[in-house]
Amino acid sequence: MIQLLNDRHPNLSKNSLYQVLVGRRTATTLFFAVENQVDAWLGVAPKLDKKIWLQRSQWTEQPILDEEYYGIFTYRLGTVPHYILANYQNAFLLLLQTLSYGRMKVTNYQPVTTSFQAQQLVKHFYFSLRKTKWNNKGEMAQVVHDELLTFFAEQPEKITEWYLELLVGYQVPAYTMSQMANETPYKVTEMSLLITAYFSKIFVHFLHTDSFLGHFFRFVLANQHPWNQSVEITYQFWQKGLTIEEISHQRRLKPSTINDHLMEIMLYFPNPFIKKWEQMFKQSFKDWHATDLPKTFEEFRHCYGEKLPYWMMRLVKYYLSDGSLPLGGEWFDG
């Protein structure tokens, strides 16, 4: 996969691609990855030596490509911190397990995950359904079964079968990742990346649908945002209306650090920033076309305002680039 990255993107900066591979979580690297559609590779080789990477980038031999693997791998949510994406996936697996056992009215079983955060997400999700039509796990299980069946029918058959082997349910034991790798042409690390990518595709697909799983994934996302704790604290201050300078003073961090936090939030949810942009410029963002966008931040400030934060220039660049959002969805959807 490392060699494939270089082969598919020969004109991109080797140093920037290296930062992607080792998973450097700066705003610059995150936006570079998303805008150049290499975010699936973010953090796949955290211990990669730079000299080895530069040597590999000079290879002319074409890597052997498994099209099915590559097709799923590109859905991997590399921008989401690994432990948070793992929580999302564990919560999903636990939801399926609890529905399977609940349908059979079995209450004594070993949870598929020991993650406290994943268990709390599922527990609070069920609590949120108490005053809705969803109060029967048997009915919920059938709905989820039908939703997943429709989704799986459109995916590569072989990889789907492997993913299903990892699911735990009533009288349905699951393979471990090592056992699964032994049944496939892939190493454990490669299989782990593939399974994470397959789940990422499930997550993003249902996130934007009017479905039971869509409701579940939106609940999960709302209760655990796709960034680390430090960014979350900045987000809470930002929600209260504090400026970058005020947040910087409150947190005793550099304004540049706070600005980086805001840009990471903007990567996933640009629309609140668009509203702030429109309030400041008193103009519709959709109607603003910067065909001659200044190349430097200094030039941007000189043209549009000396006190403008850097995220405003980054927002425009983001919109004028590929425009795709890591978690899917559309710009200006709210």
pLDDT at residue number 270: 92
User: Which of these ranges, 84-88, 218-222, 319-323, has the smallest mean pLDDT?
Assistant: 319-323
Query: Which residue in the block uniquely carries the two structure tokens 């995916």?
Result: 155
pLDDT at residue number 146: 97
- Per-residue confidence band for 55, with pLDDT thresholds at 50, 70 and 90: confident
User: Which of these ranges, 17-26, 175-184, 194-203, has the smallest mean pLDDT?
Assistant: 175-184
| DSSP at 214 | H
DSSP code per residue over 243-284: -HHHHHHHHT--HHHHHHHHHHHHHH--HHHHHHHHHHHTS-
Per-residue tokens: 261:
């936090």
Q: Report pLDDT digits (tens) over 63-113.
A: 556 778 888 999 999 999 999 999 999 999 999 999 999 988 888 888 989
Q: Report pLDDT digits (tens) over 122-163.
A: 999 999 998 888 888 999 999 999 999 999 999 999 899 989
Tell whether the model's pLDDT for residue 50 goes beyond 70. yes
Reduced to 3 states (helix: H, G, I; strand: E, B; else coil), residue 6 is helix
Q: On the CB side of 33, how many CA atoms lie within 13 Å of its CA?
A: 29
Q: Which residues pair with 169 in a beta bridge?
A: 172
pLDDT at residue number 64: 57
Per-residue tokens: 92:
């999903």
| DSSP at 139 | H
Mean pLDDT of 253-277: 93
Collect contacts of 129-138 with beta carbons under 8 A, ≥24 apart: 134/212, 137/98, 137/99, 137/102, 137/103, 138/102, 138/103
Tell whether the model's pLDDT for residue 52 goes beyond 90. no
**Contact between 32 and 93 (Cβ < 8 Å):** no
CA distance 33 to 264: 12
Which among 87, 43, 115 is positioned nearest to 226, based on CA atoms?
Answer: 87
CA distance 116 to 302: 50
Q: Report pLDDT digits (tens) over 101-133.
A: 998 888 888 898 999 999 999 999 999 998 888
Mean pLDDT of 233-257: 94
Tell whether the model's pLDDT for residue 33 goes beyond 70. yes
CA distance 201 to 155: 10
Burial of 41 (0-12, 13-18, 19+ CB in 10 A): buried
**Contact between 63 and 69 (Cβ < 8 Å):** no
Distances (CA, A) of 332 to 271, 275, 290: 6, 9, 18
- Per-residue confidence band for 334, with pLDDT thresholds at 50, 70 and 90: low
- Residue 169 has φ and ψ, to the nearest 5°, of -150, -175
